[in-house]
Amino acid sequence: MHFALLSRSASLYSTRRLLEAAEERGHTARVIDTLRCYMNIASHKPTIHYKGEDLEHFDAVIPRIGASITFYGAAVVRQFEMMGVYTLNESVAITRSRDKLRSLQLLSRKGIGLPVTGFAHSPDDIPDLIRMVGGAPLVIKLLEGTQGIGVVLAETEKAAESVIQAFMGLKANIMVQEYIKEAGGADIRCFVIGDKVVAAMKRQAAPGEFRSNLHRGGQAELIKITPEERSTAIRAAKAMGLRVCGVDLLRSNHGAVVMEVNSSPGLEGIERATGKDVAGLIIDYIAKNAAPNKNRTQGRG
């Protein structure tokens, strides 16, 4: 098979590993810079061009779309779908998971465990918003934040009011969540491919830090997850419509709760912590499932 790997850089760990895994299995793969793609949106024959070349010979597309280019990246993926090319994660699912508020609402609708979350527009509603999530300490998150950026732990209600007012004053969209103290600064990244959790790791925040992101100095280690956690991760992936994703869970006093579903999860941390060839499992999944016009949305989303 011939794969297009949508990525800004061929030197990134995840991109390199997917290329290696494809070639080891006898496939060919090419890195395509998402932002250098441009589209001819025509009803009779939609096409994608790349540096003067017409891209129409791929069997499958692997989107590695960074959060900062979600809008344009999803448009490129959608164009491939309109051309009948199989995409590992579809454009609708990517944009759905990137919208933190929308994704939580969809997970809530499916009855999946979540931290108590509040969302408001008016500063007048801040005191009730804080009470809604159980008071301080609480977590305030920018909806557009990634890798732990724009996430604040407010230890007191006064601090929470000040931070929320500051964000609202900047016209930033935020949500407020209960702080799961019993998680102890740790979360679990479940890597889902198809309908299976193929790998899981525990990420522990650095001393004095509550965010467990590896980019923030967190440490990763292999972990054995419970059947409930496995089921929660798979249900969360299906609620988003993602074939491959990372589902971040917290262990709370009322069971596993989902923090986030990541449509372009990094491979470095999970492969090093678990010793598993996750990139190879992704390629195997595509080889087994890819076919022309097999996307569910086919560019209609």
Contact 15, 9 (CB under 8 A): yes
Strand order in the sheet with 117-118: 117-118, 174-178, 138-142, 151-154
Give first-to-last CA distance, the chain, whole Å: 26
Residue 225 has φ and ψ, to the nearest 5°, of -90, 160
Contact 37, 76 (CB under 8 A): yes
What number of residues does the chain have? 301
In the numeric block, the tokens 């579809």 are attached to 90
Residues at the binding site for ATP are: 141, 178-179, 187, 211-213
Longest dimension (CA), the chain: 61
- Nearest Cα neighbor of 190 from 250, 139, 147 is 250
Residues at the binding site are: 141, 178-179, 187, 211-213, 248, 260, 262
| Distance in angstroms (rounded) separating the CA atoms of residues 157 and 222 | 36
SS (H, E, C) 84-142: CCEECCCHHHHHHHHCHHHHHHHHHHCCCCCCCEECCCCHHHHHHHHHHCCCCCEEEEE
| Distance in angstroms (rounded) separating the CA atoms of residues 118 and 132 | 7
Give the E-state strand segments of 7-108 in sequence order.
28-32, 37-40, 47-50, 53-55, 60-63, 86-87
Residues at the binding site for Mn(2+) are: 248, 260, 262
- Nearest Cα neighbor of 266 from 275, 285, 279, 276 is 279
Residues at the binding site for Mg(2+) are: 248, 260, 262
